[in-house]
Amino acid sequence: MATVPTLEGITSKMVATDRINTHVLFSGPEDGIPVVFVHGNFSAATFWEETMLMMPETYRCIAPDLRGYGDTEDLLIDATRGARDWSDDLKALSDTLGDKPAHLIGWSLGSAVLMQFAMDYPALVRTLTFLCPVSPFGFGGTKGEEGQPCFADCAGSGGGTVNPEFVQLIKEGDRSAESPNSPRNVIAAFYYNPPFQPDREEEFLSAALLEKMGDQKYPGDMVPSENWPNVAPGNWGPINATSPKHFNACGIAEMSPKFPLLWIRGDADQIVSDNSMFDLGALGKLGFVPGWPGDEVYPPQPMVSQMRYVLERYKDNGGSYKEYVIADAGHGCHIEKPEEFLKVFLDHIG
Averaged over 28-32, what is the pLDDT?
96
DSSP strand E in the chain: where?
11-16, 21-27, 33-38, 59-64, 102-107, 125-131, 142-143, 148-149, 213-214, 218-219, 222-224, 231-233, 261-266, 321-326
pLDDT, mean over the chain: 97
Domain ranges within the chain, ordered by starting residue:
11-147+248-349
CATH topology of domain 11-147+248-349: Rossmann fold (3.40.50)
Q: What is the pLDDT of residue 320?
A: 96
Prediction pTM value: 0.98
Q: Is the pLDDT of residue 113 over 80?
A: yes
* CA separation for the pair 270, 197 (Å, rounded): 16
Question: Residue 50 CA to chain centroid, in angstroms?
Answer: 18
Task: Give 115-145 pLDDT, tens digit per residue.
Answer: 999 999 999 999 999 999 999 999 999 999 9
What is the model's pLDDT at position 1? Answer: 73
